[in-house]
Every structure is written in C-alpha cells, then in structure tokens.
Amino acid sequence: MKTIIVWSLLLIVAIFLGGLLMNEKNNTAHVNYLQISSNSPAIGQIVLPEQRIEFAKGFERLFHGKGMEATVTTNGDQQKVVTISGKIVNETSVYRMKDNVDAIQDLRQEGFMHLIMIDGKVSWDIDLKN
C-alpha cells in the first residue's frame, strides 16, 4: 500500500514538473509573425553583406545616441536578417517600428528580408519581403 502511495506521489510530481518545464519552454520560444503593408518599392537594390553589417552597426549607434540600450546584429544568408534586442524591445516598440514607414523603407532598401525584435522571452518576426 505504501509503495502505491509513493509511486502516485512521484507520478503527480513528475506531471507537475513536466507541465512547468513545458510552460517555461513555450514562453521563451514564442514568436509573433508580422507582415507590413508598405507602398515602398520592392527590394531591388544590390547591397553587399558587409554593407548590411555596417548599416546595422549604424542603427545600433543611433539607439545608443538616444540613450537606448539595444543590440543590432545581422545574420542569415547574405546577412539579410537584422535583429534588434535589448531593454527597448517590447510589444509597443515593435508595433511602432512596424508602422514606421521610413525605417521599414530603409531596411528594405538595404536588402533586409526580416526584422527580428527580441525582448528576452518573446520575439517578433517582421517580414520585409512584400
């Protein structure tokens, strides 16, 4: 009888911990996909990957110049994905960036295909290809 109780308690603990771990895993892997609607021309300019990297560094300096803590990096095939992470990223800043026509047009003209914004737990993938 004691063995059954012990095994039942172990099963309950395992289910509880599994649920916590699954919930934790889902929170850190959550990605929101956003698409822009833009009147800017389609991406057609030929930009070298090195130029995209320099653009991202300049973008990061712009944030730092305004006293905002942010890291801006590029990655992916031909450095066509730009990522912004740091304390400035939250849902409000993501939607402001998505709706900032000038910033989106600049990113598209540099040949970026995606803008990823990460707040540490949630990431937003803004598709710049349309």
96, pLDDT greater than 90? yes
- Predicted confidence at residue 33, as pLDDT, reads 66
- Predicted confidence at residue 114, as pLDDT, reads 94
- Predicted confidence at residue 40, as pLDDT, reads 52
117, pLDDT greater than 70? yes
| Domain limits, the chain | 32-127
What number of other Cβ atoms are within 10 A of residue 12's Cβ? 10
- Mean model confidence pLDDT for the chain: 76
- 2-6, 22-26, 31-35: which has the highest mean pLDDT? 31-35
Q: How many CA atoms lie within 13 A of 104 on its CB side?
A: 22
- Of 44, 38, 41, 43, nearest to 101 (Cα)? 38
Length, in residues, of the chain: 130
Report the predicted TM-score, pTM, of the whole model to 2 decimal places. 0.68
